[in-house]
Amino acid sequence: MLSKTTSAVAITAVAPILWGTTYLTTTTLLIADHPVLTATVRALPAGILLLTIGRRLPRGSWWWKSVVLGALNIGGFFAFLFIAADRLPGGVAAVVGGIQPLLVAVLASRLLAEKLTGRVVAAGIAGVTGVALIVLRAAGGLDAIGVAAALLGAVSMALGVVLTKAWSSEHPPLVVTAWQLVAGGLILAALVAVFEPLPEQPPTLTNIAGYVYLTLIGTALAYALWFRGIAALPARVPAFLGLLSPVVALSISGLIAGETLTLTQGCGVVLVFASVAAVIGGVSGRGRRLTGIPTNPDAGSADLHR
């Protein structure tokens, strides 16, 4: 029988696996050249759906906390991601974003009292190296604004993950997820209104099918599982699981194109899996069981809240 820790890790891993399908969905099913609109359609309807299920509005300080978390985890993160993807050669933005697990581990050691070990640091370095081997291609010079945007996106999401962990103990993860998606979706909608014109042609049935999948599966379900994992596990664990996303994207692309992994890509996949396994092993190896309000294996009585 699986332990609660192992079950929580397995369920949380579904989120980055689903995110690994985003690139294929975006490039084959959605309206092209409208990235912020796509992000808005992902976030806002998904947030409203989860808000309807959770049937709870923020109260007190959670009005501004929802805005902060929505900006960090959804609105700001997506905005920086799209700027970086537009200005950097293929794969570079993903490599820069690969430092996010290490950033989460460092921030969690300061804000959540989670222990920062040499094992976690080594895993973080191995993870970003693995992502680089998977996605990086030969390219020209780097754009400073693009690099800055990629770094800001990684910092935004890392800080958002840690603050979500620190703040959300008194509310169910589904409710907190809904508030963040609505807040982030509204921020993105404002960016669309100011910076991005609407498509000239109405969406086709193919486009609609793609948006429905991305909204319901790639966002509502994925983020609900992701924030559930953040509540149930040390913050660094979901962050490292996020490294699985480029592996899934690579696998899907290879299957469709009928291509096999290069030696470099194969080494990258091995490094990513090794980094994730090292961090998970460091948690489950302590033999702690998660409960409804579990105890942080690294921080004694620190709350891991579900």
User: Which residues lie across from 303 on neighbouring strands?
Assistant: 295
pLDDT at 141: 62
Residue 64, domain member (yes or no)? yes
User: What pLDDT band is residue 189 in, cutting at 50, 70 and 90?
Assistant: very high
The answer to whether 70 touches 219, Cβ cutoff 8 Å, is no
pLDDT tens track for 265-287: 899 999 999 999 999 987 765 54
Residue 298, domain member (yes or no)? no
Position 45, amino acid = P
The answer to whether 76 touches 187, Cβ cutoff 8 Å, is yes
Residue 294, domain member (yes or no)? no
**Sequential DSSP letters for 3-21:** -HHHHHHHHHHHHHHHHTT
pLDDT at 296 over 90: no
pLDDT at 304: 28
Residue 304, domain member (yes or no)? no
Rounded to 5°, angle at Cα 217 from 187 and 103:
60
pLDDT at 301 over 60: no
**Sequential DSSP letters for 79-147:** HHHHHHHHHS-TTHHHHHHTTHHHHHHHHHHHHS-----HHHHHHHHHHHHHHHHHH-----PPPHHHH
pLDDT tens track for 138-186: 555 667 888 898 899 999 999 999 999 999 888 999 999 999 999 999 9
Report how far residue 140's alpha carbon sits from residue 132's, in angstroms, rounded to the nearest whole number: 16
pLDDT at 85 over 60: yes
User: What pLDDT band is residue 90 in, cutting at 50, 70 and 90?
Assistant: low
Which of 102, 133, 97 is CA-nearest to residue 116?
102
Alpha carbon of residue 266 to chain centroid? 23
pLDDT at 32: 86
pLDDT at 44 over 50: yes
pLDDT at 275: 95
Exposure string for 222-251, b = 16+ CB within 10 A, e = fewer: bbbbbbbbbbbbbbbbbbbbbbbbbbbbbe
pLDDT at 293: 35
Alpha carbon of residue 217 to chain centroid? 14
Residue 48, domain member (yes or no)? yes
> Average of pLDDT values for 61-90?
88
pLDDT > 90 in the chain, percent: 59
User: Which residues lie across from 295 on neighbouring strands?
Assistant: 303
pLDDT at 192 over 60: yes
pLDDT at 67: 96
Domain count across the chain: 1
> Average of pLDDT values for 74-82?
88
Residue 247, domain member (yes or no)? yes
Position 95, amino acid = V
Report how far residue 278's alpha carbon sits from residue 283's, in angstroms, rounded to the nearest whole number: 9
Give the number of residues written for the chain.
306
- Domain containing residue 263: 4-284
Residue 33, domain member (yes or no)? yes
pLDDT at 261 over 90: no
pLDDT > 70 in the chain, percent: 89
pLDDT at 281: 86
Residue 306, domain member (yes or no)? no
Residue 113 has which token pair?
Answer: 């009292």
